[in-house]
Structure 1
Amino acid sequence: MAEHVLVAGGAGYVGAHACKALARAGYVPVTFDNLATGWEAAVKFGPFVRGDLMDRAAVDAAMAAWRPVAVMHFAARSLVGESMRDPGAYWRENVGGALNLIEASVAAGVGEFVFSSTCATYGDQDGVLLDEDTPQRPINAYGASKLAIEQMLGNFGESHGLRSVIFRYFNVAGADPDGEVGEKHEPETHLIPLMLEAVEGKRGALTVFGSDYGTADGTCVRDYVHVADLAEAHVRGLRWLRDGRGSRVFCLGTGTGYSVREVIEHARVVTNRAVPVVEGARRAGDAAALVCGSARARDELGWEPQRGLGEMIRDAWRWSQSGGY
């Protein structure tokens, strides 16, 4: 009988792709999501439980009903700018929701937990290839809340034997190559879908937030990972735990950063259309350059990103033109 995995945030962008990867690997993903930022139409690969992580009774009920062997946790507020304006919401919902999920897991006898963290826990450390041993110094409430959850998992590991795999990564891009799921946010804040919507005339010109950073062309530099590659890493992380191995942190990246202007140029080539652009002021909390490597994931999980920036934009372009959900 196939094993169930409770996927918190499985109706969201990364979570939905992880559910597809789990189903392909022979698991039954049970999506637990309040649809605050997710989409019921994205739940295609297993059962759906509509619930909120802030409601401990609802989490306990889902555990009792589905008896998962493991948990994957994607659900979170994740907007850097919003976290600067309203840090309380990030501490309350991200940390409080994770605490409910972790405690419910322990109470239900679930001993394996895969956590989708972020390289935002490192803060602004320019010129450094970030890895698992880089000091964590978040500069916004989003990164700080994710770091707190990482520390919480460590505490529960020591006290209750909860084993966890933590993934830290930066910008996720692209869409399911098969076109079944993709990226949709309301409001949209991610660079690539914003850029493609501007190309299609669905919105005004793309705003480049800050052109005076200390980078080669003055715009922010980020490491991009294809969402399908990221989903595959999470399945490998689950298998790591199912094989009885201990808690581990893995960074997921290509080791190559692209500036906003370079991403725009890739989009021009892929779409064969000009990208309308206007320049704006810097956003509070944005780091200048964030790039991470994945040597540990390669060596221990056998994971390497298979798709480059061009493929990310091509898959996202196909999804955008399809109309999405």
Structure 2
Amino acid sequence: MSVLVTGGAGYIGSHMVWELLDHGEEVVVLDRLSTGFDWAVAGAATLVVGDIADQELVENVIREHEVDSIIHFAGSIIVPESVSDPLGYYLNNTVKSRSLIESAVRCGVRHFIFSSTAAVYGSPKHFPVGEDTELRPESPYGTSKMMTELMLRDCAAAYDFDYTVLRYFNVSGADPEQRTGQSTKGATHLIKVACETATGKRPHMEVFGTDYDTPDGTCVRDYIHVSDLVNAHYLALKRMRNGKGSLVANCGYGNGYSVLEVINAVKDVAQKDFEVRVSGRRPGDAVAIVAEAERCRQELDWKPRFDDLNTIVEHALNWENKLARRNRE
């Protein structure tokens, strides 16, 4: 039996592959390499280049590799881009996910883990945000993910199929062993952008909005280390294989940091100042969102190892330096 990781050549997906291999799993990756990199896929995994909407390809892969579980990362993830290209986001995140789910059901795949997002909550009025909070996405990105969550719920009710939806808060950092990290060109993740600026890859960075109703006027987010996140996925897989059924859970630490606090942390860890410019608000950005993650801890017996902003930043900076060396070679 093996695990199929869609989007396994991307940032989170490549970490997931290492996590699975570290636990002795057989892994096959399906990625069209639109934003991912073939070199980011661990050598012990099988890489198939293709689209999750190609049902003939997907079903051949499932049968050939005896896939019993799918961990689904493939999709588009930039909130402002979703506002300007909603149809593209509904295609990549919803329509194609439907095709993948159908292939899973047809081929008898029992377990499905879906990469969802805190964007399904929009800008909630109370913190921390629990899983039972009303879903009120404020961007096509958030809505496209919510729609896939609903499809999974309905399929689990109709077929011999269970699922785990993990709603990510802000994923950051890199593999502590520096085997993989965030490598996307033009990435918009705050810590990635700040680290690129600190290492001279960008001449400056921008802060989008300083007039929000927060202590320092900038948006507040809950930052989770990517290694802790993928560990939650592995524990979710174990839980489903043990017959405990479907689950929806937040993945965050419950700590909120503003944009300016994160930038200052990067400056402190890098021991370097850099230019920060202020711009207007971006469309679709929630004001503040922090996770209530007790369900993840209790249901999965999840014990985060890297719940520290400076540690997250340090690992991200280490990866930026490794990328710089790799690009010079």
Does TM, normalized by the shorter one, top 0.5? Answer: yes
**1:252 and 2:251 equivalent?**
yes
Name the structure 1 match of 2:210: 211
Alignment-mate amino acid for residue 4 of structure 1: S
Name the structure 1 match of 2:182: 183
Q: 2: CA distance between counterparts of 1:302 and 1:54?
A: 34
Alignment-mate amino acid for residue 263 of structure 1: V
Q: 2: CA distance between counterparts of 1:106 and 1:54?
A: 14
Name the structure 2 match of 1:317: 317
**1:293 and 2:292 equivalent?**
yes
Name the structure 2 match of 1:304: 303
Q: 1: CA distance between counterparts of 2:185 and 2:202?
A: 13
Q: 2: CA distance between counterparts of 1:311 and 1:275?
A: 20
Name the structure 2 match of 1:9: 7
Alignment-mate amino acid for residue 11 of structure 2: Y
**1:21 and 2:12 equivalent?**
no
1:19-45 CA deviation, whole Å, 9 max, x = no partner? 111111111121100011111011114
Alignment-mate amino acid for residue 313 of structure 1: V
1:185-237 CA deviation, whole Å, 9 max, x = no partner? 12211111111111122112110000000000000000000000001000000
Tell me if structure 2 keeps the 8 A contact 1:253–1:305: no
What TM-score do the two structures reach when normalised by structure 1? 0.97
Alpha-carbon shift at residue 153 of structure 1 (Å):
0.3
Q: 1: CA distance between counterparts of 2:304 and 2:118?
A: 17
Name the structure 1 match of 2:36: 38
Tell me if structure 1 keeps the 8 A contact 2:169–2:250: no
Tell me if structure 2 keeps the 8 A contact 1:297–1:304: no
Alignment-mate amino acid for residue 59 of structure 1: V
1:105-152 CA deviation, whole Å, 9 max, x = no partner? 111111110111111000111442111111111010000000000000
Name the structure 2 match of 1:277: 276
Alignment-mate amino acid for residue 40 of structure 1: D
Show structure 1 runs of 4+ deviating over 4 A. Answer: none
Cα RMSD between the aligned structures? 1.1
Q: 2: CA distance between counterparts of 1:259 and 1:305?
A: 21
1:264-288 CA deviation, whole Å, 9 max, x = no partner? 1111111111132000000000011
Consecutive unaligned residues of structure 2, counting only runs of 5 or more, are none
Name the structure 1 match of 2:224: 225
Alpha-carbon shift at residue 54 of structure 1 (Å):
2.1
CA distance 1:238–1:133, change in 2 (3 Å): same
Alignment-mate amino acid for residue 51 of structure 2: D
Name the structure 2 match of 1:103: 102
Q: Would you say how many aligned residue pairs link Structure 1 and Structure 2?
A: 323
Consecutive unaligned residues of structure 1, counting only runs of 5 or more, are none
Q: 2: CA distance between counterparts of 1:220 and 1:320?
A: 24
Alignment-mate amino acid for residue 54 of structure 1: A
Alpha-carbon shift at residue 304 of structure 1 (Å):
3.1
Alignment-mate amino acid for residue 34 of structure 1: R
Q: 2: CA distance between counterparts of 1:129 and 1:197?
A: 30
Alignment of 1:47-66 (within 5 A): 47-66=46-65
Describe the SS at the equivalent of 1:130: coil
Describe the SS at the equivalent of 1:101: helix
Q: 2: CA distance between counterparts of 1:66 and 1:175?
A: 29
**1:117 and 2:116 equivalent?**
yes
Identity %: 41
Alignment-mate amino acid for residue 66 of structure 2: R
Comparing 50-59 with 140-149, greater Cα deviation is found at 50-59
Describe the SS at the equivalent of 1:27: coil
Tell me if structure 2 keeps the 8 A contact 1:171–1:224: yes
Alignment-mate amino acid for residue 311 of structure 1: T
Name the structure 2 match of 1:158: 157
